[in-house]
Amino acid sequence: MEMILNEDDLVVGASFENGTIQDYVDEEKTYGLVRFEDTTANWFLYNDLDSTDDVKELYKSIKKEEHFIKNDFGEEIVLFNKKGSVSYEKLIEKIDAYLDDEIISII
């Protein structure tokens, strides 16, 4: 996975075989985009204690629509607006790998 950096050398996404991940695609910087093969989906991390009010409102509205949530010990990876044939589970695998690589690059 190859990290994508902004002008300040901060990680803002990644590219990998057959896809990309972006941290933020909206002006409020609340959710990102994952593209893999023929599929796209929006995503964000949610934690009931630490998430901002904007993210909490988004989370509440997403739960009323089609979505997928993976709970990782209190922090949730939330996927929504999925279009395409790749499963939610495959998309979560890509996001998990990205988050793991991002943590390693910080260390």
**Contact status, residue 64 vs residue 107, Cβ threshold 8 Å:** no
* Residue appearing with tokens 């996927």: 79
Phi, psi of 87 (to 5 degrees): -70, 155
Opening angle at CA 101, ends 105 and 93, nearest 5: 170
The residue whose two tokens read 């997403």 is 62
The CA distance from 76 to 5, in Å, is 24
CA nearest neighbour of 36 among 89, 72, 78: 89
- Residue 4, pLDDT > 90, answer no
Its pTM stands at 0.89
pLDDT of 103 > 60? The answer is no
pLDDT (tens digit per residue) in 23-76: 999 989 999 999 999 999 999 999 999 999 999 999 999 999 999 999 988 899
